Amino acid sequence: MRYGFAMAAAPARERLARLVDLASQSEMPARELTDELADLLLDWPENYPPAMREPFEALLEKSLRDVDPAARALLAQRFADGTMPLSVLNTLIFDADPEARQAILARNATEANDTTAARMVDERDLLAAARAGTIELPLVLALYFGISSDVAAKALADRSGFSLALLCSGMGCSRAAFSALAVLASPQADTDESYRRLAVYDQVPDEGARALLQFWRGQTAAAQPAA
């Protein structure tokens, strides 16, 4: 049985080695690499053992960082209703369209290991720090929400306001706190855009937002050096 597994796994290992080698030597454009990995994982060959999926998924997650937002949005559409792991889906959520975002949040709500509510934040302290301007807003959010500054910056860069609403909902922040942060995040927005941004707060599913925030906080904690 073990011999049979080794024989079946050989083509998968050879393909993985080839893709890793091409990626490390920059001989394959990131878009081409992610497309090939996506095709493979979405139509897994019968002669590839299921246990071999994980290294391909890890390579895909790594390669996603190097593709443009438009490509990431297309991949989010392809992956949202499939069997991709949450770590891959959550990497794409900032570039996903509204339908794919909702599907990703639903997956988080149903599959996350830790569904407990995030710690509450002192909104007065949060808003005071955000308004003071002594620390850049992404760093303020990173500090108070327990996430990386990269995730905070991506959330703030989302012109729709959905990603910031997601963070606030996941943390249990009030609508008033979200509204204040949304205005601080985009002070140059006109009235119509501001209203559109504020309205997205009601579109965020609380349970999915809590689960996704816990995922990001777990990633940030894991990246911290050991005490």
pLDDT tens per residue, range 130-145: 999 889 999 999 999 9
How many whole angstroms separate alpha carbon 64 and alpha carbon 201?
Answer: 28
| Tens digit of each residue's pLDDT (9 = 90 or more) over 13-22 | 888 788 877 7
**pLDDT, tens digit (0-9, with 9 covering 90-100), for 127-182:** 999 999 889 999 999 999 999 999 999 999 998 999 999 999 999 999 999 999 99
Split at pLDDT 50, 70, 90, the class of 3 is: very low
Per-residue tokens: 206: 């609380």
Longest CA–CA span in the chain (Å) reads 67
Could you tell me the pTM of the whole model?
A: 0.84
Residue 45: pLDDT over 70 = yes
Residue in the block written with tokens 């339908």? 99
Summarize pLDDT for 61-100 with one digit per residue, the tens: 989 988 999 999 999 999 988 889 999 999 999 999 999 9
Q: Does residue 60 carry a pLDDT above 60?
A: yes
pLDDT of residue 96: 95
Q: Assign 9 a pLDDT band (cuts: 50, 70, 90).
A: low
**176 or 11: which carries more pLDDT confidence?**
176
- Which residues lie closer than 8 Å to 106 by C-beta, 6 or more apart? 205, 208
**Residue at 31: amino acid letter:** R
**Alpha carbon 99 to chain centroid, angstroms:** 15
Banded pLDDT at 8 (limits 50, 70, 90): very low
